[in-house]
Amino acid sequence: MKIAILGAGHAGCAVAGDLSIKGHDVTLIKTSNSMHNENFNYLLKNNGKITLRENEVTKTTRINKITKDLSELSKAEIIIVYIQTTYHEDLIRKMKDYIQDEQIILFNPGYFSTAYMLKHGIKHNITIVEAQSSFIDCRIIEPGVINVGFRNVRNPLGVYPNENLSIARNKLDNLGYPFKYLSSTVEAALHNPNLIVHTVGAIMSIPRIEKTNGDYVMYYEVFTPSVWNILEKLDEEKMNVLEKLGFERISYVEACKYRNSLDDTLDAKEVFFKYAMMPNRSKGPVSVRSRYITEDVPEGLVMLESIAKQLGIKTPVCTALIEIASAALEMDMRKNGRTPERLGKKNIEKILEDRKQKVAEA
């Protein structure tokens, strides 16, 4: 299949290389000059040559096209968006003129970007998909070389509109990843693990980040019993919102276990800590102004808080974390964060109604 990947960072490059190894025709599109320029320039100069190292196995392939030209989107059957969610709305504005009928647009992760697609008038008969987390955990270790840490054993996806699920599923399953299909993109948005683990972990790590200049590993160090209590309280607020919207109360650790383990008998919390203590876990965050805070607080926590407010649900821990992050970084995390007003209340209602219709038909 012809696949376009927007975003030439760690995950975008890894998935572009992985899909190329599988025989797909992949175009990798860089959307900014903010980071990973050395790697991108290497790919340009070497005709898309890329190497994936995984479990002591090395595979080298070539990505068919490396470019910054968004018009290439019009040629793709599936478009995968792998940029920070902070920039999704701006990207949607730029890409909408190249969208074609029957395309699948997959945001990984989404944080409810389906609503932004509706907001900006994507009129074509397309399918919008949101993932919870990257299919492949990885790092660019040198230009053209990516180290793969692990792969999710399941990748939950939300699909909009639900009437397109059958056709979209046939195409998506051809990508070769173990996809599982949720009842709505809302579930995928609220089960983005970064909403819970990045925000609590990074905010509670602020002194450690600054004291060590980032020479530490958050997953190894921060989730002590007391910090874990904060995580569970935030997670409870998220589940209250899910329940009010008509979805099942699924905890962070249960969602993590579902993505990362096929052994249903394991304790979910143990699965998380096994994942957290993996020996190839990368250092960081290396800066207080990392995406763990600057992205996941305004795009994740602000979204959760504002939707909860609309539903009449109190979120004291979520609100406190937003306030602490805003004070520590001396910036208003709510100013440009995701809210029903910014996403569009009618768009949110439309997505929820699509899910209600599916449930009613079932």
pLDDT score, position 362: 65
**Under CATH, to which class is 191-360 assigned?**
mainly alpha
Domains 2-190 and 191-360 share a fold: no
Question: What is the C-alpha separation between 123 and 100, in angstroms, rounded?
Answer: 9
Question: What is the C-alpha separation between 106 and 117, in angstroms, rounded?
Answer: 11
The string of pLDDT tens digits covering residues 102-139 is 999 999 999 999 999 999 987 678 999 999 999 999 99
pLDDT score, position 123: 67
Give the chain as a 3 state SS string: CEEEEECCCHHHHHHHHHHHHCCCEEEEECCCCCCCHHHHHHHHHCCCEEEEEECCEEEEEECCEEECCHHHHHHCCEEEECCCHHHHHHHHHHHHHHCCCCCEEEECCCCCHHHHHHHCCCCCCCEEEEECCCCEEEEEEECCEEEEEEECCCEEEEEECHHHHHHHHHHHHHHCCCEEECCCHHHHHHCCHHHCHHHHHHHCCHHHHHHHCCCCEHHHHCCCHHHHHHHHHHHHHHHHHHHHCCCCCCCHHHHHHHHHCCCCCCCHHHHHHHHHCCCCCCCECCCCCCHHHHCHHHHHHHHHHHHHHHHCCCCHHHHHHHHHHHHHHCCCCCCCCCCHHHHCHHHHHHHHHHHHHHHHHC
- Where do we find the tokens 């196995």? 57
pLDDT score, position 130: 98
Q: What is the pTM of this model?
A: 0.95
pLDDT score, position 233: 98
- Chain-centre distance of CA 233, in angstroms? 22
Average pLDDT over residues 8-12: 95
Task: State which fold the 2-190 domain adopts.
Answer: Rossmann fold (3.40.50)
In the predicted structure, residue 359 carries a pLDDT above the cut 80? no
The amino acid at 174: N
CA distances to 25, 83, 111, 347 from 106, rounded to whole Å, are 17, 11, 12, 18
Give 155-195 as a 3 state SS string: EEEEEECHHHHHHHHHHHHHHCCCEEECCCHHHHHHCCHHH
Average pLDDT over residues 303-325: 98
pLDDT score, position 36: 82
The string of pLDDT tens digits covering residues 249-301 is 999 999 999 999 999 899 999 999 988 888 877 888 999 999 999 999 999 99
Question: What is the C-alpha separation between 34 and 245, in angstroms, rounded?
Answer: 37
Structure-block tokens of residue 11: 């995950």
Give domain limits for the chain.
2-190, 191-360
- Give me Rg for the CA atoms of the chain: 20
Question: What is the C-alpha separation between 137 and 239, in angstroms, rounded?
Answer: 26
- 95-104, 280-289, 338-347 — which is least confidently predicted? 280-289
